[in-house]
Amino acid sequence: MDILISEVGPRDGLQSLKRIMPTADKHRWIAALAASGLAEIEVGSFVSPRALPQMADCAEVVKEALKLPGLRVVALVPNLKYAELAFAAGAHVITIPVSVSEPHSISNIRKTHAEIIADVRAIVALRNARFPATKVDAGLSTAFGCTIQGVVAEDDVLRMAATMAECGVDTVNLADTVGYANPAQVKRLFTRLRQEVGARSGAAHLHNTRGQGLANVVAALDAGVTTFDSSQGGIGGCPYAPGATGNIVTEDLVFLLESMGLSTGVDLDRLMAARAVLSDALPGETLYGYVPQAGLPKGFAPARRAA
């Protein structure tokens, strides 16, 4: 596999919807996604069930997802209390959102930078002491700009990335939370990220809010990024950033990469089958994506799998 796609729909997508997907439907959808060849899925977040009732069944969803052979199960947590639940549930990867824009951090999870950094340190300490096999990632949100603050300085992003590495997280991901990124910026920032944190340099989480999602993927590939977040049907986005919906669409991303000769391990027909499961579970919900509408080109051949 040349590129790892980390499917975030069951977390990022479902927590943005008003309705709550029944647990059994989540199981079915996640199983269908895994069956398409997606090797990593962010299945939910451990958060207050009052704030996000869509995620109240996260422990059960993680437990079921752990039964799927070969799947790496990711869960998002906002703080130490919920990280404990995620560790206990057995998630393979725990990801912590850390906003580079402090006003966004305060508005989103009511934490200053000092507070969220202290949380990250405490979560890493807990992992080191009791769950050494679990990976801890930091996802730097608003890394490309913020609807509250506006421009986010690249030096601030790099400084926060260095702090996260110093805290002991395994991977630092960069997120275009509000769809502000452009390809020149994406290439520059991921290049600098690798210089700053080396092998801890992680995934690109890109949005399509301004139609630039896949253009930014091309730039990230140029900078050596090999992991991309996306959501089936493009569901989700950032519920706290007004108008900033729009994850890049897994179906279109897989087509992009496979047609470029980069293997994703994902079978497009099976991915469409998973889309049907999602569509059945969310009747009337808008699913995005061009490839599902237009179909594959005549004579299309996916990338050759590495032996």
Active site residues: 238
Residue ranges in 141-200 that form contacts with a second copy under rule CB under 8 A: 145-151, 178-180, 182-185
Binding mask 216-235 for a second copy (x = CB under 8 A): -xxx--x-------------
Distance of CA 53 to the CA centre of its chain: 20
Question: Angle at CA 42, nearest 5°, toward 127 and 104?
Answer: 80
From residue 155, alpha-carbon distances to 102, 147, 200, 271, 292 in Å are 14, 19, 18, 39, 39
Is residue 260 a contact residue for a second copy (CB under 8 A)?
A: yes
| Shorter beta-carbon distance to a second copy: residue 211 or 283 | 211
Q: What is the C-alpha to C-alpha distance for residues 253 and 227, in angstroms, rounded to an integer? A: 12
CB of 83 to a second copy, least distance (A): 32
Give the interface segment with a second copy, choosing from 14-22, 24-32, 165-173, 243-251 (CB under 8 A). 243-251
Indicate whether 214 belongs to the interface with a second copy (CB under 8 A).
Answer: yes
Q: Rounded to the nearest whole angstrom, what is the least distance from the CB of residue 291 to a second copy in the complex? A: 5
Min dist. Cβ of residue 159 to a second copy (A): 19
- Closest Cα partner for 113 from 123, 94, 100, 97? 100
User: What residues form DSSP beta bridges with 140?
Assistant: 98, 174
268 binds a second copy per the rule CB under 8 A: no
* In the complex, minimum distance from the CB of residue 87 to a second copy, in angstroms, rounded to a whole number: 37
Q: Does 208 bind a second copy (CB under 8 A)?
A: yes
Q: Give the three-class secondary structure for 296.
A: coil
**Spatial distance between the Cα atoms of 77 and 98, rounded to a whole number of angstroms:** 11
Hey, what are 72's tokens?
A: 């790496």
Nearer to a second copy by Cβ, of 219 and 277: the residue is 219
Which residue in the set 68, 215, 273, 281 belongs to the binding site for a second copy (CB under 8 A)? Answer: 215
Q: Residue 194 has which token pair? A: 């690798």
Question: Can you tell me whether residue 1 is helix, strand or coil?
Answer: coil
Residue closer to a second copy (CB basis): 163 or 227:
227
Task: Rounding to the nearest 10 degrees, give the CA dihedral for residues 283, 284, 285, 291.
Answer: 90
Does the protein bind a second copy through residue 250 (CB under 8 A)?
A: no
210: helix, coil or strand?
Answer: coil
For residue 216, the minimal CB distance to a second copy (Å) is: 8
Q: How far apart are CA 266 and CA 252, in angstroms?
A: 12
User: By the criterion CB under 8 A, which residues form the site for a second copy?
Assistant: 145-151, 178-180, 182-185, 208-212, 214-215, 217-219, 222, 243-244, 249, 252, 255-256, 259-261, 289-291, 294-295, 297-299
